[in-house]
Amino acid sequence: MLISIVNQKGGVGKTTTSANLGAALAELGKRVLIIDLDAQSNLSAHLGLASDPEVIEENPNPTIYDVLKGQKALSEIIINRSNNLNVAPSSLFLSAADLELGGVVGRELILKRALSSIEGKFDVVLFDCPPALGLLSLNALAASEKVIIPVQSEYLALHGVRQLLDTIDQVRSIYNPTLKVGGVLICLHDSRKKLARAVAETVKSYFGELVFDTIIRTNVSLAEAPASGQTIFEYAPKSTGAEDYLALAHEVLGD
């Protein structure tokens, strides 16, 4: 199962979902790989794997950047984070990927071709996409079977999602005819706020059955866990955040 977690709007819970959905699936016994495609390396940092920029020249660790540049196989850069959870870390160098790979023939399919080196090794591969619909996100969409779209329950939640759906349609027609929207995920939801409840209802009425039953509630532990380099299941396994992401994992698996 190949899943892109994407929304060009920042701060909607993409990286939190990538890290903790991946961890939840691993908790359920699935062999999981999360690929960090964001130059900010937030996913890698969340899981305690971010490179120190001060020593990157002295001791460069291979990242997904090296894979996209054709210098490493994907299988060579994967770090086993814990038991079933594995990570392909990111690099600041990804910020130049659009320019550096712009002239490469078939540049939208680089990642899809790179997946051949790990075929059959993982049950689930998650792509944590950057907050932009550039070349990196297109590579993820071209390689995926499904897309999960996190949206925040706030006034501007639906702004830009239409553009994202149009992009998914274009990728489907040109590069990946089997690509599906796996679901719209409401994140950072505070049910105490009238506006949040109203937006959640608007999202459900707009997207219908595409909206996951699971809603990721606002939870302080979800915000604190990245500072410790831990998943929510390591940091606060009894929190509502852990409860929500485990429920989402079951839903993604169709349990």
Question: What domains sit in the chain, N to C, each tagged with a CATH number?
Answer: 2-253 (3.40.50.300)
Rounded mean pLDDT of 16-28? Answer: 95
Residue with structure tokens 């062999």? Answer: 31
User: Residue 145 has what pLDDT?
Assistant: 95
> Which pTM value belongs to this model?
0.90
> Which residues are bridge partners to 36 per DSSP?
128
Q: Who has greater pLDDT, 190 or 134?
A: 134
Could you tell me the two tokens for 46?
A: 């969340």
Give residue 90's Cα distance to chain centre.
12
Provide the pLDDT confidence category of residue 245 given band limits of 50, 70 and 90. very high
User: Residue 154 has what pLDDT?
Assistant: 66
User: SS3 for 12?
Assistant: coil
User: Residue 190 has what pLDDT?
Assistant: 64
pLDDT per position as a tens digit, 174-232? 999 999 999 989 887 666 666 667 766 777 777 778 889 898 988 889 999 999 889 99
pLDDT per position as a tens digit, 28-45? 999 999 999 998 888 988
pLDDT per position as a tens digit, 50-102? 655 544 444 468 899 999 988 899 999 999 988 899 999 998 888 887 787 77
* Residue 27 near residue 246, CB atoms below 8 Å: yes
Q: Where are the beta strands (DSSP E) in the chain?
A: 2-5, 32-36, 79-82, 85-88, 124-128, 146-152, 180-187
* Residue 142 near residue 108, CB atoms below 8 Å: yes
Q: Kindly tell me if the per-residue pLDDT of 140 is higher than 70.
A: yes
User: Residue 115 has what pLDDT?
Assistant: 94
φ, ψ (nearest 5 deg) of residue 9: -85, 135
Q: Where are the alpha helices (DSSP H) in 122-188?
A: 135-143, 161-174
User: SS3 for 174?
Assistant: helix
Q: Identify the CA nearest to 77 among candidates 106, 134, 115.
A: 115
Q: Kindly tell me if the per-residue pLDDT of 243 is higher than 90.
A: yes
Measured CA to CA, the distance from residue 39 to residue 32 in angstroms comes to 21
Give residue 250's Cα distance to chain centre.
17
Q: How wide is the angle at C-alpha 182 spanned by C-alphas 49 and 252, nearest 5°? A: 65
Q: Kindly tell me if the per-residue pLDDT of 146 is higher than 50.
A: yes
- Say what the alpha-carbon torsion angle 232, 51, 84, 211 is, to the nearest 10 degrees: 50
By the 10 Å C-beta count (0-12 exposed, 13-18 middle, 19+ buried), 117 is classed as middle
Measured CA to CA, the distance from residue 41 to residue 52 in angstroms comes to 11
Residues 6 or more apart in contact with residue 250 via CB below 8 angstroms? 28
Q: Kindly tell me if the per-residue pLDDT of 160 is higher than 80.
A: no
* Residue 137 near residue 149, CB atoms below 8 Å: no
User: Residue 56 has what pLDDT?
Assistant: 43
Q: Kindly tell me if the per-residue pLDDT of 130 is higher than 50.
A: yes
